[in-house]
Structure 1
């Protein structure tokens, strides 16, 4: 796997890469390939490979932060734990909210021990808050493009919150309708991240382009600003090269 071509940001403390959808960040109990297997490509002269500062779900794409050494990882860990890192996600959901924006305040807990990391709304669970706003809709409101801003960092938080609101994320095999063989991939993308890594410097701001598998649904929702138009063009070029 070529991670050099997916590098979005590099400095002396950290890296941000554009994680591809469908690849786990680390090796699971059943083995198999993972992003960590390719981290040696990102040493850039340091004696050790970088390490994960957080994680994204296997089927989620976008901004993934790596610490380049132990002190950087300690700093990043405190920032993530303290909720000081700003994260923005894009998702195409099935159905559409009645409002244009809002906040979901719904505690989450483990579904059951046998389901591993699967989560569910649970009044006795951990507090979980997610802000959202609609960026576009299809004319028949069967799909909507939503920007999610999680204020807490629970496992599967956006996916469970979206399902609980009645508009699950398109292609979600766990919390949505993405269990069929002809279902599309999960339409959830970690669009941007803001990291106040050093108090004496402005925060590091990084944005990842939308993945090719989400572009058509995003365009169908009517969100075709200059950036998306450029991504659509780039996606078409990639599709042409890979056909």
Structure 2
């Protein structure tokens, strides 16, 4: 599924949070099962399985990092290095949930590769490609913040000026590469960013 920004991946608590990617996919394919999630504010590719066996295989592929994921984001400021590896441990910021934070004492290992696609000096923005090597909650958002370049439109992590610089979080899951699983061949899924 190509999930729009603002839609939950799975149902939330409360009657008003039942519309989600999972319920929309299951309306068409009742057997569909959730494999992974995207933040509500993030748009892009979301993978579902159509059998418990495939859900197990796909979930294992995600857990063992055999799934390639590529995101595009627009960051505030001009990122200096053309490429960089961000290796910062993340943990839930309990007093400010659902926010996450970098914590070298209690955080879980989290790695992201960042590649600059384009620098816009007039707007002081950088379009980047993000390749998460791990899959922590809010990982890309917190890693970009930690290097001093929050994602535009990020209501949780960006300062007010950068929150208001875009009508939504400018983060899109644009590519998912699934390995061969059983008799199912490898598959490369793509979705161009809508920004």
Contact 1:170–1:177, Cα closer than 8 Å, also in 2: no
Q: Are 2:28 and 1:42 equivalent residues in the alignment?
A: yes
Aligned residues: 191
CA deviation after TM superposition for structure 1 residue 199, in Å: 5.5
Contact 1:19–1:61, Cα closer than 8 Å, also in 2: yes
Q: 1:111 to 1:58 in 2, by over 3 A?
A: same
Q: TM-score, normalised by structure 1?
A: 0.73
Q: TM-score, normalised by structure 2?
A: 0.91
Q: Are 2:159 and 1:173 equivalent residues in the alignment?
A: no
Q: Are 2:97 and 1:116 equivalent residues in the alignment?
A: yes
Q: Are 2:189 and 1:206 equivalent residues in the alignment?
A: yes
Q: Are 2:62 and 1:80 equivalent residues in the alignment?
A: yes
Q: 1:68 to 1:192 in 2, by over 3 A?
A: same
Contact 2:42–2:173, Cα closer than 8 Å, also in 1: yes
Q: Are 2:53 and 1:71 equivalent residues in the alignment?
A: yes
CA RMSD of aligned residues (A): 1.9
Give the secondary structure class of the aligned counterpart of 2:169: coil
Q: 1:181 to 1:200 in 2, by over 3 A?
A: closer
CA deviation after TM superposition for structure 1 residue 77, in Å: 1.0
Q: Which runs of 5+ in 2 are unaligned?
A: none
Report the counterpart of residue 194 of structure 1 in structure 2. 177
Report the counterpart of residue 2 of structure 2 in structure 1. 18
Report the counterpart of residue 232 of structure 1 in structure 2. none
CA deviation after TM superposition for structure 1 residue 39, in Å: 2.4
Q: Which runs of 5+ in 1 are unaligned?
A: 1-16, 215-243
- Greater C-alpha radius of gyration: 1
Inter-partner Cα distance in structure 2 for 1:23 and 1:104: 28
Q: 1:177 to 1:184 in 2, by over 3 A?
A: farther
Inter-partner Cα distance in structure 2 for 1:136 and 1:183: 17
CA deviation after TM superposition for structure 1 residue 36, in Å: 2.3
Which is helix-richer, 1 or 2? 1
Give the secondary structure class of the aligned counterpart of 1:59: coil
